[in-house]
Amino acid sequence: MADSFWSDADRHLVRYSGAGRFTPEIIERAEGSFVYTADGRRLLDFTSGQMSAILGHSHPAVVATVQRQAATLDHLFSGMLSRPVVELARRLAGTLPEPLEKVLLLTTGAESNEAAIRMAKLVTGRHEVVSFARSWHGMTQAAASATYSSGRKGYGPAAPGNFAIPTPNSYRPDFTTPDGELDWRRQLDYAFELFDAQSVGSLAACIVEPILSSGGVLDLPPGYLGALRDKCHERGGLLILDEAQTGLCRTGDWYAFQRDGVVPDILTLSKTLGAGLPLAAVITSAEIEQIAHERSYLFFTTHVSDPLVAAVGNTVLDVLQRESLDRRAAELGAYLRKGLNGLKEQHDVIGDVRGRGLLVGLELSSDELGAAVTRRCLELGLHMNVVQLPGMGGVFRIAPPLTSSPAELDLGLEILDRAITDVTAGGSMGS
Top pLDDT among 390 and 413 is at 413
Among this protein's residues, is 242 annotated catalytic?
yes
Which residue in the list 45, 69, 126, 136 is annotated as catalytic? Answer: 136
Give the integer Cα–Cα distance in Å for 148 and 232.
19
Beta carbons of 206 and 239 less than 8 angstroms apart:
yes
Give the integer Cα–Cα distance in Å for 119 and 240.
10
Residue 390's pLDDT band, with cuts at 50, 70 and 90, is low
Residue 431's pLDDT band, with cuts at 50, 70 and 90, is very low
Rounded mean pLDDT, 38-65: 97
Q: What is the pLDDT at residue 36? A: 98
Among this protein's residues, is 184 annotated catalytic?
no
Asked which of 178-187, 256-265, 369-378, 418-427 is least confident by mean pLDDT, the reply is 418-427
Which residue in the list 231, 245, 328, 422 is annotated as catalytic? Answer: 245
Rounded mean pLDDT, 234-260: 98
CA 196 remoteness from chain centre: 29
Among this protein's residues, is 397 annotated catalytic?
yes
Q: What is the pLDDT at residue 10? A: 94
Cα Rg for the chain, rounded, in angstroms? 22
Rounded mean pLDDT, 273-282: 98
Residue 380's pLDDT band, with cuts at 50, 70 and 90, is very high
Which residue in the list 219, 242, 260, 363 is annotated as catalytic? Answer: 242
Q: Give residues with Cβ within 8 angstroms of 46, minimum separation 6.
A: 382, 383, 384, 385, 398, 399, 400, 412
Give the integer Cα–Cα distance in Å for 212 and 164.
14
Rounded mean pLDDT, 419-424: 96
Class of domain 73-322: alpha beta
Instruction: Tell me which H or E stretch contains 63.
Output: helix 60-70
Q: Which 3 state secondary structure label does DSSP give 30?
A: strand
Residue 391's pLDDT band, with cuts at 50, 70 and 90, is low
Which residue in the list 271, 328, 337, 376 is annotated as catalytic? Answer: 271
Among this protein's residues, is 245 annotated catalytic?
yes
pLDDT of 393 above 70:
no
pLDDT of 347 above 50:
yes
Which residue in the list 69, 128, 397, 408 is annotated as catalytic? Answer: 397
Average pLDDT value for the chain: 95
Burial string for 318-342 (b: 16+ CB within 10 Å, else e) reads: ebbeeeebbebbbebbebbbebbee
Q: What is the pLDDT at residue 13? A: 96
Instruction: Tell me which H or E stretch contains 208.
Output: strand 203-208
Give the integer Cα–Cα distance in Å for 2 and 23.
14
Write down the architecture of domain 2-59+324-425 according to CATH.
Alpha-Beta Complex (3.90)
pLDDT of 387 above 90:
no
Give the integer Cα–Cα distance in Å for 237 and 252.
29
Residue 389's pLDDT band, with cuts at 50, 70 and 90, is low
pTM: 0.97
Q: What is the pLDDT at residue 175? A: 98
Rounded mean pLDDT, 395-419: 98
Give the integer Cα–Cα distance in Å for 336 and 72.
41
Query: What ranges do the domains of the chain cover?
Result: 2-59+324-425, 73-322
Residue 429's pLDDT band, with cuts at 50, 70 and 90, is very low
